[in-house]
């Protein structure tokens, strides 16, 4: 197991569109274990492969309190969505920043699991938000890009100052 390096916004690699996984093999399963360990260590509730500079369509999510409900989505796609709701979001790639984002309130997702078998899941609330947030990463989009240009400029400035202070 390994803790992977999480890219920080506005790293240009975060804008890379992930490619579909062709085969769920030992390398992919190893990456899933490392991503989960990285997410739990951060600590976070979701992580996309893009955030660890691997540009394949893989996300790991665990919104449970006890961190014993790891969900893995390979090549995920949203097939239905319903309603909208504002949620406060944060991101391991944008540490310390929390902002309101409008997302679908409920979604149905098709994906492959870590075993390579297809599954469908209906999600609402925090799980639905987290799936949508992580799927955005696979498309090369970071949640702060939903914000106004003024808020985005303030966040970039704050993060640059923080990086200079290191």
134 is catalytic: yes
Q: Locate tokens 């893009």: which residue?
A: 50
Active-site entry in 37, 89, 134, 145:
134
- Report in angstroms the alpha-carbon separations of 132 from 28, 30, 103, 107, 165: 21, 24, 8, 9, 32
User: Which segments are annotated as binding site?
Assistant: 91, 133, 137
User: Which segments are annotated as binding site for Fe cation?
Assistant: 91, 133, 137
Identify the CA nearest to 101 among candidates 26, 164, 155. Answer: 155
**CB distance 98 to 155 below 8 Å:** no
**CB distance 13 to 101 below 8 Å:** no
Residue 55, both tokens: 């540009």
Q: Locate tokens 């599954």: which residue?
A: 119
Could you give the CA distance from residue 94 to residue 46 in angstroms, rounded to a whole number?
A: 13
**CB distance 143 to 101 below 8 Å:** yes
Would you please indicate which residues are annotated as catalytic (active-site) residues? 134
């Amino acid at each position: 197991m390994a803790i992977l390096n999480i890219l920080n916004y506005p790293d240009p690699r975060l804008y890379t569109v992930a490619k579909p996984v062709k085969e769920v093999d030992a390398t992919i399963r190893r990456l899933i274990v490392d991503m989960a360990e990285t997410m739990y260590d951060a600590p976070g509730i979701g992580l996309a492969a893009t955030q660890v500079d691997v540009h394949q369509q893989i996300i790991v999510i665990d919104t449970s309190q006890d961190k014993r409900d790891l969900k893995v989505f390979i090549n995920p796609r949203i097939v239905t969505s319903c309603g909208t709701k504002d949620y406060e979001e944060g991101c391991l790639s944008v540490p310390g920043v929390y902002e309101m984002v409008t997302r679908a309130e409920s979604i149905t997702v098709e994906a492959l699991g870590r075993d390579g078998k297809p599954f469908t899941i209906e999600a609402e609330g925090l799980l639905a938000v987290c799936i949508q947030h992580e799927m955005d990463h696979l498309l090369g989009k970071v949640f702060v890009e939903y914000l106004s240009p003024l808020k985005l400029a303030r966040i970039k400035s704050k993060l640059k100052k923080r990086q200079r202070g290191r």
